[in-house]
Structure 1
Amino acid sequence: MPTVSALYRYPVKGFTPERRDRLVIQDDGRVQGDRALVFRFADALEPEDATFPKSRGLALMTFPTLARVDLAYDDERQTLRLQVDDIDVEADLSPAGRARLADAVTAYLRTTSDAKLLDADGILPLGLLGDGRTARFQDRPRGYVSLHGAASVDALDARVPAPVDDRRFRSNIVVGDTAAWAELDWRGRVRIGEVEFEVQKPIERCAAITANPDTGVRDARLLRVLTTEFGQDEPTLGILLLPAEGGGTVRVGDAVVVEGD
């Protein structure tokens, strides 16, 4: 039977994940504490709704070297720690703390191949938005919980020389013990532990998956591989879910039952 093999949360949009033993799925279809912060560009206004397009702040799609930043967020203390190369900064979410964190990210990016992107109009100074608790900076208005099968990633990894693992695809839930690409055929309802989800649609992928999560270098033409090697019309890996009847907790090791229509 398929089971949950890994769970991830992304406290800061566009940055590295935190591996978790459990995720709390909210009634609104978002993961508690997921994308609760974002480094926005200078010309990006505070969003009025619970969505934040990648084009308005730092994201792997355009700044692949962000993948190298090691991130740790403490929910209780509401502190964020960023570590990369000689930079090691921990700060709270006070105005002064946010400024320190934004300055640290800017200083790091200035040392990378993405440095020239900072000079475009409206980018600097960066600002850190969010209260660190409310999941609100997803790309899509509904938020969604994302899932992919580990076997699908393994199948893709076998087709390219660069290492490909789950981290490239930034899903919340990774499922083991399925056939490659099986999740793309799921329809109707899927029960994961105590939460029943409705399958929404497959996830069409962007350039973020081409960035190596350890080096920050675009080292694999995965979008082309998905369409040419696997015959997809659009580069697709994983699916989006919404809770069917309220939220709950999903844990590593939970059974995954495809109930269908």
Structure 2
Amino acid sequence: MGTVAALWRHPIKAHGRESVGHISLVEGQTFPWDRRWAVAHEAAKTEGGEWASCRNFSRAAGAPALMAITAKVDEDSGKITLNHPDLWELTIDPATQGDKLIDWVRPIMPKDRAASAKLLPAGEVGMTDSNFPSIAIHAIASHRAVEELLGQSLSTERWRGNIWLDGFEAFSEFDWIGKTLRIGTAEIEVRERITRCLATTSNPDTGVRDADTLGALKGAYGHQDFGVYGVVTKSGDISVGDTAELL
């Protein structure tokens, strides 16, 4: 049994993160306000409105500076405020002002990558990296294990998870596949492990690659997996500090 240490959402895929204290999960849906929008690059083969592969979007794997964006959602108006240490504060209505976001990120985007072109809605399912409405669940102990391997302190935010749990053994979450977690009053069926990309090597404060997370995982465990994807099987509320238990 463990507890909820933190809750995070990423309203625009790869373009900002926001900590929240409470959320209400709905059966079969993604984390509220998570990856509701995504930035398609000029070579994308999607017009939005439905799930599409991450290959269609501008991401921190190819543009590490994106990792340093923070976000704040005004749920009443639908507007999102973004900040980056090298840019000015930007507030947009993503439904009508996507061009402002494209202009805003242009100074921090690599010149040798497909340029960001258009802000697209995800539709009914969030634009997660899985082709099902997933929620990313991580264990604090697993993060600390990676810190030990690297010999350096890391921010948990580089993993871009939704739910962080304390009180479980490192990498025990891999044993949860096919099982159900009760967190707060919600229940989540754990589906699969999350295979990581270069985004996790970048510092979420600076947007600079400064930690070989992938090398550490590969060298110690023979894989690049960290965290698990789950699907909400029972609607309910989750707050920081709530109990989490494996059923």
After TM superposition, the score normalised by the length of structure 2 is 0.90
Deviations 1:158-214 (A, max 9, x none): 221443221111111100112211222224221111112222121111111111111
2:215 aligns with 224
Distance 2:29 2:111 in 1: 37
Alignment partner of 1:189 out of 166, 180, 192: 180
Q: Whose radius of gyration is greater, 1 or 2?
A: 1
- 1:46-57 → structure 2 map (5 Å cutoff): 46-47=47-48, 49=50, 51-57=51-57
The 2-side partners of 1:117 and 1:24 are apart by: 41
User: Which 4+ stretches in 1 moved above 4 angstroms?
Assistant: none
- Residue 67 of structure 2 contacts residue 199 of structure 2 at CA under 8 Å; is this kept in 1? no
For the residue of structure 2 that corresponds to 1:76, the secondary structure is: coil
Aligned counterpart in structure 1 of residue 239 of structure 2, from 251, 254, 257: 251
Judge which range, 157-166 or 71-80, deviates more. Answer: 157-166
Superposition pairs for residues 34-73 of structure 1, below 5 Å? 34-44=34-44, 45-47=46-48, 49=50, 51-73=51-73
Shift of 1:135: 4.3
Letter in 1 for 2:229: L
**Corresponding position: 1:145 with 2:135:** yes
* Distance (Å, rounded) in 2 between the aligned partners of 1:128 and 1:48: 11
- In the alignment, structure 1 segments of 5+ residues that lack a partner are none
User: What are the residue-to-residue correspondences of 1:123-138 with 2, within 5 Å?
Assistant: 123-124=115-116, 126-130=117-121, 134-138=124-128
* Alignment partner of 1:215 out of 188, 206, 210: 206
The AA in structure 2 aligned to 1:144 is S
Q: Which amino acid aligns with 1:92?
A: D
How many aligned residue pairs are there? Answer: 244
Identical amino acids, percent of aligned pairs: 27
Whole-angstrom CA distance in 1 between matches of 2:207 and 2:24: 29
Q: Matched residues in 1 for 2:120 and 2:101: separation?
A: 11
Conservation of the 8 A alpha-carbon contact between 1:33 and 1:135: no
Q: 1:2 to 1:94 in 2, by over 3 A?
A: closer
Look up the SS of the partner of 1:105 in the other structure. Answer: helix
Show the counterpart of 1:242.
Answer: 231
Aligned 8 A contact 1:9 1:20 in 2: yes
Structure 2 portions without partners, runs of 5+: none
Matched AA of 1:253 = G
Aligned mates of 2:110, 2:80 — CA distance in 1: 23
Q: Which residue of 2 aligns with 1:176?
A: 166
RMSD (Å) for aligned C-alpha atoms? 2.0
Asked if the contact 2:8/2:19 (under 8 Å) is kept, the reply is: yes
What are the Cα deviations for residues 70-101 of structure 1, in whole angstroms up to 9, with x where unaligned? 32221211212222224222122353x22222
Task: State whether residues 40 and 118 of structure 2, in contact with CA within 8 Å, keep that contact through their aligned partners in structure 1.
Answer: yes
Q: Which moved more, 1:60-69 or 1:133-142?
A: 133-142
Rate the CA distance shift 1:94–1:257 in 2: closer, same or farther, 3 A.
Answer: closer
Q: How many Å separate the matches in 2 of 1:9 and 1:152?
A: 20
Q: Structure 1 CA distance, aligned partners of 2:235 and 2:137?
A: 16
> Bigger CA drift: 193-202 or 166-175?
193-202
Question: Partner of 1:22 in structure 2?
Answer: 22
Q: Which amino acid aligns with 2:132?
A: R
Does the 8 Å contact 1:145/1:241 carry over to 2?
yes
Rounded Cα–Cα distance in structure 1 between residues aligned with 2:70 and 2:244: 30
Q: Secondary structure at the match of 1:87?
A: coil
* Deviation sequence 1:85-135 (CA, Å, 0-9, x none): 24222122353x2222221111x32xxxx43135x4xx35x211127x854
Match of 1:160 in 2: 150
- Residues in 1 aligned to 2:87 and 2:48: alpha-carbon distance in whole angstroms: 33
User: Helix, strand or coil for the counterpart of 1:256?
Assistant: strand
Give the SS at the match of 2:192: strand
